[in-house]
Structure 1
Amino acid sequence: MASLCLILQRIHDDGPALLRAAGHDSRLSRSLEREALAGEIAGARAVLTRDARVDAALMDAAPGLEVIGVHGAGVDNVDLAAATARGILVVNTPGANARSVAEHALALVFHLAKSLGPGDRAARASDGTFKYRSALTELECAIFGVVGFGAIGAATARLARALGMEVVVWTRRPADPAVAAAGFPQIAALDDLLGVADIVSLHLPGGEGTRHLIGAAQIARMKPSALLINTARGTVVDEAALAVALREGRIGGAGLDVFEVEPLPPASPLIGLDNVVLTPHVSGSTQAALKRTATVLAGEVIAALAGRRPTHLVNPQAWTARRIGARSEAGA
């Protein structure tokens, strides 16, 4: 049965093309303003979102909604409890953008370690003395701490190892078999990793379980020369505490692609700091990653609408409830 698949934010054209090829009406939302969106979503069986919030009120505006597709791995922009209670499947695309995000994390490291921003400004100003004032870092043999070991954390760890860095890992799962299988040492306590790492790269989902996991106390554990990289979720870091530490020179620098509030507010204390590099949540936005993510997401939505269990189902309880409900109706 054809259905309306409402796409809240633009994705790669190959995704909507797959939806249309499967016989569905693929349409880009005209606005994210809540009242207008509630009208547009009313007839949708599927909603696809990048980071736009899908909450209970929006779900209730679409009584026929069957599936919410998230473009990426993180699903903190979806009210999972509300979706599950309504029998709405939530799907995502873990790993589709892993390589691109991992490359971006290393790009932020290089920018900081090699003072690329200040060096660029010095060259433009014909400042030939910059090389005598800068403190550049060689990365080989640096201790690279990976916090979280999903697809992106694992990809980042592999790239760091290929560059000759010594990789250590912390995850919320003790004795994580994925870490062991990849051949990386796992450190049991986060504070211990923070204390030894020259670079700390964050790869954890958002949500209450990770909110401000890196706060003032954790930053105080880091080396004064250490670099903090965040391509995960802005809420994992206490930005106010980080800004103070950077301003006072208590860590070497930070590379951030994500923020507690996005876009980053103009009044953020991070903006005026020289030892931080900021990018506007673009680490997963290479053309290759966007194409993979959009096509994987479209495939997940198509499967759900066809009554097949999606591969990347975030809330399996909704699937179970749906199956039980279907059997009950058939027996009625």
Structure 2
Amino acid sequence: MKLRCAVLDDFQSVAAEMANWSTVSDRVELVSFPEHFTDEKELAAAVADFDIIVTLRERIPFPASLFAELPRLQLLVASGMRNSVIDYAAAERHGVTVCGTGSSSTPPVELTWALILGLARHLVAESTALRTGGRWQSTVGADLHGRRLGLLGLGKIGSKVAQVGQAFGMEVVAWSQNLTAERAAECQVALAPSKEELLRTSDVVSTHLALGERTRGLLGAGELALLKPDAYLVNTSRSAIVDQDALVDALRRGAFAGAGLDVFDVEPLPLDHPLRTLPNVLATPHLGYVSQHNYRTYYGEAVEDIAAHLAGSPVRVLGRKP
């Protein structure tokens, strides 16, 4: 009898075509779930008779209570090599091996700039007006050349965002709790003396930090109040870096020009959430990692993880040594 493998959050129903599953198809039956499960009990009921689960990013938590409801589960594959919503100790207690895959490459950089440019040039409003017979030219775009780009984080992604900003002729400054003058100089970026100074003086602020205890709620009401009235805030990292209630309040009041968002506290974003309708928000449904290259990496290495598990030699094990 074949093992059953559930692919969760396969929104585009492309998991089967993004990898060569034939290498395990003689022993594994693949079942795709394009709908998102928001209720743990509903999820447990849907996948209770599966032996393998493939999950994308950190969208679905796997706490101890969920592992207890999945007695057949042998292998959990999560895209990326870091996942904060899996209870690894519980997985080990229940005999579940957790494996990862390669991480995103550069698409978050590309999406960051899609949001910045979309905000600065009001692309959604102008394109919609053009298609629907609305006014011809109703907005005046913001120039990026000569303006200041403030980066919270100058790691793998932030440094690439900096390069694009420099190509646009922007002055780039960066800050993070661990950022050194040497690292900033290496990227030809100015080191902001403080987070507050970066927020006060930047025309575009973009976050590129990992979520942790020191970065959770890094931008609250007080920090958002420092932004210039014509500044834009872009978040393609993790929603919890920015206090969502404070963000909605500031955007409703027009405290700054607008926000470009790809990450949210609850995903998919509820239909009645204000971020869906605020006119100064350009929002995308967590598309930063959704690209052909990344999907081929995720699902291709998920197949490798499954094959290695079947062979009794798991690879890319997360949370504990194999």
TM-score, normalised by the number of residues in structure 2: 0.79
Deviates further, 29-38 or 235-244:
29-38
Q: Are 1:239 and 2:244 counterparts? A: yes
Q: Which has the higher contact order (CA 8 A, sep 6+)?
A: 1
User: Is the partner of 1:40 in helix, strand or coil?
Assistant: coil
How far apart in 2 are the matches of 1:158 and 1:127? 36
Q: Are 1:111 and 2:114 counterparts? A: no
How far apart in 1 are the matches of 2:290 and 2:224? 29
How far apart in 1 are the matches of 2:29 and 2:185? 43
Q: Are 1:25 and 2:28 counterparts? A: yes
Q: 2:135 aligns with which of 123, 127, 130?
A: 127
How far apart in 2 are the matches of 1:129 and 1:8? 43
**Deviations along 1:219-246, whole A, 9 cap, x unmatched?**
0122221111111222222222112212
Q: What amino acid maps onto 2:127 in structure 1?
A: D
Q: For the structure 1 residues 54 and 27, does the alpha-carbon distance in structure 2 shift closer, same or farther, using more than 3 Å as the test? A: farther
Q: What amino acid maps onto 2:45 in structure 1?
A: A
Contact 1:201 1:228 in 2 (8 A): yes
How far apart in 2 are the matches of 1:179 and 1:305? 46
Following superposition of structure 1 onto structure 2, how do residues 227-266 of structure 1 map, counting pairs within 5 Å? Answer: 227-266=232-271
Q: 1:82 aligns with which of 64, 78, 90?
A: 90
Q: Are 1:36 and 2:72 counterparts? A: no
How far apart in 1 are the matches of 2:293 and 2:9? 18
Identity of paired residues, percent? 31
Gaps of at least 5 residues in structure 2 are: none
Gaps of at least 5 residues in structure 1 are: 323-332
Deviation of 1:254 after TM superposition, in Å, equals 0.3
Please provide the CA RMSD for this pair: 3.3
**Deviations along 1:161-189, whole A, 9 cap, x unmatched?**
33332332233424297656544344363
Q: 1:12 aligns with which of 7, 15, 27?
A: 15
How far apart in 1 are the matches of 2:312 and 2:188? 39
How far apart in 2 are the matches of 1:179 and 1:22? 49
Q: For the structure 1 residues 181 and 83, does the alpha-carbon distance in structure 2 shift closer, same or farther, using more than 3 Å as the test? A: farther
Contact 2:24 2:307 in 1 (8 A): no
User: Is the partner of 2:286 in helix, strand or coil?
Assistant: coil
Q: Are 1:141 and 2:140 counterparts? A: no
**Number of aligned residues:** 309
Deviation of 1:86 after TM superposition, in Å, equals 5.9
Deviation of 1:256 after TM superposition, in Å, equals 0.9
Contact 1:216 1:241 in 2 (8 A): yes
Which residue pairs with 2:54 in the alignment? 48
**Deviations along 1:68-113, whole A, 9 cap, x unmatched?**
32224662332345346667554444543x3222111111111110
How far apart in 2 are the matches of 1:64 and 1:178? 48
Q: For the structure 1 residues 63 and 183, does the alpha-carbon distance in structure 2 shift closer, same or farther, using more than 3 Å as the test? A: farther
Q: For the structure 1 residues 189 and 24, does the alpha-carbon distance in structure 2 shift closer, same or farther, using more than 3 Å as the test? A: farther
Q: For the structure 1 residues 189 and 87, does the alpha-carbon distance in structure 2 shift closer, same or farther, using more than 3 Å as the test? A: farther
Q: For the structure 1 residues 55 and 17, does the alpha-carbon distance in structure 2 shift closer, same or farther, using more than 3 Å as the test? A: farther
Following superposition of structure 1 onto structure 2, how do residues 133-282 of structure 1 map, counting pairs within 5 Å? Answer: 134-175=139-180, 181-187=186-192, 189-206=194-211, 208-282=213-287
Q: For the structure 1 residues 231 and 301, does the alpha-carbon distance in structure 2 shift closer, same or farther, using more than 3 Å as the test? A: farther
Which residue pairs with 1:100 in the alignment? 107
Deviates further, 56-65 or 108-117:
56-65
Deviation of 1:292 after TM superposition, in Å, equals 2.6
Q: For the structure 1 residues 48 and 221, does the alpha-carbon distance in structure 2 shift closer, same or farther, using more than 3 Å as the test? A: same
How far apart in 2 are the matches of 1:94 and 1:145? 29
